[in-house]
Amino acid sequence: MIFGFGKSRDDEEEFEEEIEPVSFQGALNGQPANLKENARLVKAGLMPAKNIVTDALALRAEFIRFEPKGERYQVLFYIDGVASPGPKLSKQQGLAVIQIIKLLSGLNIQERKRPQSGGVLAELEEVPYQLRVSTAPGQSGGERLSIKAIKVNEPLDRPDDIGISEENKERIRELAKGRSGVILVSGPPNSGTTTTTFGVVRSVDAYQYTIFALADPEHRELSHITVPDKKDDDTFDDELRRIIRMEADVIYLKPVTDEAYVSSMLNVVNEIAMIAEISAKDAISGLVKFCKLAGGVEKGVNALRCVVGHKLIRTLCDQCKEAFRPNPKLIAKMGLPKSTKMLYRPPRQTVDEDGNEIEPCEKCDGVGYFGRTLMLEMIVMNDEMKQLIISGAEPAKIKALAKKQEMPTFQKEGIRLVAEGKISLDELQRAFKSS
């Protein structure tokens, strides 16, 4: 079944309005899908795949996952980062859906034992999407498939779009000065690290500084950022040197992956400012990983200007959030500003004064949350911080110094968002428990 929205009442009966299924419009890599040669697969998998993707997009899911569970497949929809169960499929149905999505995404449907990645353009109710697809072999047989759904007309390519505050934008601008050092953005896979990194890049004043990019912007707009032409025989070192000769101030790099890549970065660390992402749990984990790739703590720390960690948190629906007057003891306990008079939470009332059930909010469908915003932590490499890290200090001491020096922390960012009425205390606690 395809979920419907825009509920109305007709003769006191509610109904769900059917919407047209999603249309798939070609693989991102340009590989044509030969549907005629795979007619049996199309018959078995195309409409179920369309229905599942349609339901997910209609519910605002940013991720769809197909997980093999014994003789069945469980589909999960991730809405604002929270998993919600989708349909359960038989193993045969699940495999058919996965294979047709692979075919439409320009992937090799014969290959099931190695990871693949690709994607397909799609449209639902005149809204264009990029569906970025990745596969991996399942641990107990079968094949896992994930879809990242990106709204093309909502690229999240500005700092304000993702919630980087004015104060943090100014910090980033200061750190990018001087044509030297690395600003490293750290986060686990599928946590929005690339989006956060792009927001950090866009926080640098492109009118004041010359910015080049070697990273793939995917669907985002590189406004006032130069992408140099790549020569076939160029190495990474060649690309860096050529950009430096063009008097660039800042370069946005591809993700940090290995020792050779970091070695090339260290070779020019005093000639250009670099911004890059690294796959790690949080800021300290990213710092440790970078230092290891750099060949030593002192080498790594001296190359870094700062490490940025990030966490996405659900924002309250601005159509139905409920104001309440907090207890003064709660304000003091949470470290909220003493001037805080009101806090906000999802609506708790489900019936009106006459005992009639209240219609759920049309915007958030009664969830109470709509969208997510960013919390940042930063470990800035000033002299005192460098000395502490080089001395082999435990993570707790590094965090304590960051807090003492009033660097951004998740706790500080979370309290600010609660005080501004953007998030609830319950959601803040949930975000920390799940990390």
**pLDDT averaged per 10 residues, the chain (length 435):** 40 58 95 93 96 96 94 95 93 95 96 94 96 89 92 84 92 93 94 92 92 87 85 90 94 96 96 96 95 96 97 94 91 87 89 78 92 95 97 95 94 93 93 76
CB neighbour class for 280 (10 Å; exposed up to 12, middle 13-18, buried from 19): buried
Q: Which CATH number does the domain 166-318+322-350+363-434 belong to among 3.60.70.12, 1.20.58.2030, 3.40.50.300, 1.10.260.40? A: 3.40.50.300
**Could you give the residue range(s) of every CATH 3.30.450.90 domain in the chain?**
23-151
Gyration radius of the chain over CA positions? 24
Beta strands at 127-137 and 143-151: parallel, antiparallel or unpaired: antiparallel
SS3 track for 224-278: CCECCCCCCCCCHHHHHHHHHHCCCCEEECCCECCHHHHHHHHHCCCCCEEEEEE
Q: What is the pLDDT of residue 293?
A: 97
Q: What is the pLDDT of residue 17?
A: 60
Sign of CA dihedral 291, 292, 298, 300: negative
pTM of the model: 0.85
Q: How far apart are the first and last CA of the chain?
A: 34
Q: Of 90, 84, 98, which Cα lies nearest the Cα of 133?
A: 98
* CB-based burial, 374-413: b 16+ in 10 Å, e otherwise: bbbbbbbbeeebbebbeeeeeeeebbebbeeeebbbbbbb
Q: Domain 23-151, what architecture?
A: 2-Layer Sandwich (3.30)
Q: What is the pLDDT of residue 217?
A: 80
In whole angstroms, give the CA distance from residue 135 to residue 145. Answer: 4
The one-letter code for the residue type at 163 is: G
Q: What is the pLDDT of residue 400?
A: 95
Q: What percent of the chain has pLDDT over 90?
A: 76
Name the residue with tokens 């009033």.
Answer: 406
Q: In sequence order, which ranges of 12-90 are alpha helices (DSSP H)?
A: 39-58
Q: Name the β-bridge partners of 61.
A: 79
**Could you give the residue range(s) of every CATH 3.40.50.300 domain in the chain?**
166-318+322-350+363-434
In whole angstroms, give the CA distance from residue 135 to residue 65. Answer: 10
